[in-house]
Structure 1
Amino acid sequence: MRHIAELPQVRAVTDPHGPCIADDTQTLSNARFLARVEAAASVLHRAGVRPDDVVAVVLPNRVDLVVTLFAAWRLGAALTPVNPGLTDDDIRYQVQDSGARVVVGETDRPSVTLDVAALREQAGQVAAATSTGDLALIIYTSGTTGRPKGVLLGHDNLAAMCAMVIESLGLNETDHSLLVLPLFHVNGIVVSVLSPLLAGGQATVAGKFSASGFFDTVAAVRPTYFSAVPAIYAMLTAQPEAPGRDVSSLRVAICGAAPMPAELIARFEQRFGVPIVEGYGLSEGTCASTLNPVDGQRKPGTVGLPLPGQTVAIMNADGALTSGAEPGEVVVRGPNVMRGYLGKPEETAATVVDGWLHTGDVGHFDADGYLVLVDRIKDMIIRGGENLYPKEIENALYRHPAVHETAVVGVPDPVLGEVPVAHVVAAPRATVTAEELTAHCRAELAAFKVPSAIVFVDELPRNPVGKIDKKRLRVLATSA
């Protein structure tokens, strides 16, 4: 295969009747998938889409989104997936910022110019075209520091990233991914759709995630793996015991998007018998840069080893690479590093310097070369001149059995500048007090790292990808 856009044709020729992709309402063989992609490409072409254009798609997780993706690529266009849960104003911003020629979705949404149902119309084929710039995706960041930025990813980025994922996970034609993460995020697209299809396997696109219904879906679909975020694993672990759950098809579960406490990994693995491999990466790095080995030593509390073909290093505040033994900024180099931010040359230049992608994360390597994340640089708390990393305090709290989830943020203090405040979701059916958790922290941490307050909450605020929204938590903590 010369180009990832040729995947539907290659699969249809190789195994026309073999399973390709499914969702809650439809199942497509390789031949049917190709037919759907060709029909959608024809409709997009009639709507004016040409090489180097951008197609926006505003849809929840469903096969139609993947069909639109490959239809756009068949025409030499790029695709920008839009979170359908955004406000009308935010949707309009992404559509306009990306310069989308056509917006595919349900026509009751703002800015939608082409009803998704029209993509299934039988229409004459249109010749495949090639993009001169070969841009594949514009993925918008979650916008925690202002308006979201469009991350420019080329087909070369995707091809390199998928090859790394396939090799690291050992994917082949027997694999079947269950997609539970949103398709407007690069993890869902790369790990759960493109990689298994390129490896000759298949994918099932789950609709809205339901912790109570997840295991029924696994039993019915029989996937070999899925990729999720810590919040999903926490919800699954909190489910009541139920006899007869069949997870025997799963050989591995993947965790990304945010660091996962080792204690939560242990709880999930002990309960369900499915190993979790934790990885780490950014949209700007086309998804992943490190991963714990599937076959080999897994180290909970780390995010694994650098993926093949990438260089992951530690840089000090002076911009010099270090041995990696001491904490510093994690930087990444390789064919997976983005082309830049759309229309933001200054921010691109500040983020990718001499080929190194600056992640904004603090980390170090252990003696075996596994990456240990300390925290986000911007989340560091400076208490009376001492640097505190919330993740260290969170990890200490997770070691208490009554803590289900926790997040620590800094709040202003007139004397010390900032102090840490911990927000805690108690484990189901657990009873615990703030005084008990404070005493636990005093036994686990230096005195200056102990939270000044413990606040119990029913749930933690999250962004659309499932990461804890610490910006919003800081606002809530300050206003409390």
Structure 2
Amino acid sequence: MNLSSRLAEVADQLPNKEAYWFEGESCTYGELDAAISKFSSGLYNMGIRQGDHIALLIGNSPYFVIGLYGALRLGATVIPINPIYTPDEISYILMNGDAKAVIALDLLVPLFIQMQGRLPLLEHVIICETPQGKEKGISLPEQMKSFTDVLRSGDVNFQGPKLADDDTAVILYTSGTTGKPKGAMLTHKNLYSNAKDIANYLKINENDRVIATLPMFHVFCLTVALNAPLMNGGTVIIVPKFSPAKIFTIAREQKATIFAGVPTMYNFLYQYEGGSADDFRTLRLCISGGSSMPVALLKNF
């Protein structure tokens, strides 16, 4: 079992269950699984094969979910990268990670135009359109493809290759505080086991609605707020950017049951005067990670 096959299994069991919510739009498990198969097929049509490396330069969005699972279904190795890294940091990871393709926000189109010729292994640039990109009038060069076109070109009945437990699924790069970032390789078994164990320990099930506002390119959000709920029929509430006002509103309106954050987020929420405990009345669990929680904040929150 792996993330891709388990999601397909959940989609077969709960096709009409809400898989994610994003800025007023919902997607069912049946719809998500179909999109993943189509995107995976579209990547295959472009020449991406099992074992190839695909970088993700995307914030929290459906693009990230479909791009991640679509690549995994194909047997490609995914390299999630912080989209606000500097050009030198991005270039280094793409070269060090042997990326054959990259899926990136349209705001990064100028960056990839500048990088032409500097990344000999990079064959494909797939661009995700955003409202901000449209406002800035960013157009797509001929050599780049849109995420939407790749998705539309795919076959919903696409069957990916058989995946081995110890095949590398994801390469997560360290922050590089003491030198150049280093890639940590995680296998399909690593990702699935982590998601399964976390879900079992926290008793995550199809009734849970998990706020995903931590960055999806980081292992904390990837495991706790994305993979764990999706493996168990829960709903992921995708929040692109953290703000106390937004979290209080979304938690109340979407009846969230789980929130995961770092201590700084909890401090901002505690200090925010525009929210109330009633906004969090449906939360059954708050998870903190990244650093230790100050005792005073833990008690007061």
TM over 0.5: yes
The alignment status of 1:18 with 2:51, answered yes or no, reads: no
Residue equivalent to 2:158 = 126
Letter paired with 1:227: A
* Bigger relative CO (Cα 8 Å, ≥ 6 apart): 2
TM-score, with structure 2 as normaliser: 0.84
Identity of aligned residues (%): 28
Measured after TM superposition, the shift of residue 241 of structure 1 is 5.5
State the shift of 1:106 in Å. 2.5
Q: Report deviation, 1:12.
A: 2.0
Conservation of the 8 A alpha-carbon contact between 1:74 and 1:130: no
Tell me how far apart the structure 2 counterparts of residues 93 and 23 of structure 1 sit (CA, whole Å): 32
Structure of higher CA gyration radius: 1
Q: Distance between the aligned counterparts of 2:89 and 2:299, measured in 1?
A: 39
Equivalent residue pairs, number: 267
Structure 1 match to 2:89: 90
The match for 1:194 is 227
Match of 2:98 in 1: 99
Structure 1 gaps of 5+ residues are: 269-480
1:175 to 204, 208, 225: 208
**SS state of the match for residue 95, structure 2?**
helix
Moved more, 141-150 or 125-134: 125-134
The superposition leaves residues 329-358 of structure 1 with CA deviations (integer Å, 9 ceiling, x where unpaired) of: xxxxxxxxxxxxxxxxxxxxxxxxxxxxxx
Secondary structure class of the residue paired with 1:195: helix
2:295 corresponds to which of 248, 257, 262: 262
1:85 to 1:41, Cα distance in 2 relative to 1, 3 A? same
Gaps of 5+ in 2: 113-123, 129-146
RMSD: 1.8
Cα deviations across residues 183-240 of structure 1 (Å, max 9, x unaligned)? 1101111000111111221211111101122100111111110110011011111112
Residue 238 of structure 2 corresponds to residue 205 of structure 1: yes
> Kindly tell me: are residues 120 and 22 of structure 1, through their superposed partners in 2, closer, same or farther at Cα, counting changes over 3 Å?
farther
Q: Do the aligned residues in 1 keep the contact of 2:53 with 2:77 (CA within 8 Å)?
A: yes
Q: Deviations over 1:289-343 (max 9, x none)?
A: xxxxxxxxxxxxxxxxxxxxxxxxxxxxxxxxxxxxxxxxxxxxxxxxxxxxxxx
- Whether contact under 8 Å (2:59, 2:216) holds in the other structure is yes
- CA deviations on 1:389-448 (whole Å, 9 max, x unpaired) are xxxxxxxxxxxxxxxxxxxxxxxxxxxxxxxxxxxxxxxxxxxxxxxxxxxxxxxxxxxx
1:121 alignment partner, SS class: helix
Q: 2:125 aligned with 1:113, yes or no?
A: yes
- Residue 245 of structure 2 contacts residue 274 of structure 2 at CA under 8 Å; is this kept in 1? no
Structure 1 position 123, deviation (Å)? 2.5
Following superposition, the deviation at residue 80 of structure 1 comes to: 0.9
TM-score for both structures, normalised by structure 1: 0.53
Q: Which has the higher strand share?
A: 1
1:193 maps to amino acid: L
The answer to whether structure 1 residue 216 and structure 2 residue 249 are counterparts is yes
Aligned-pair CA distance for 1:96: 1.2
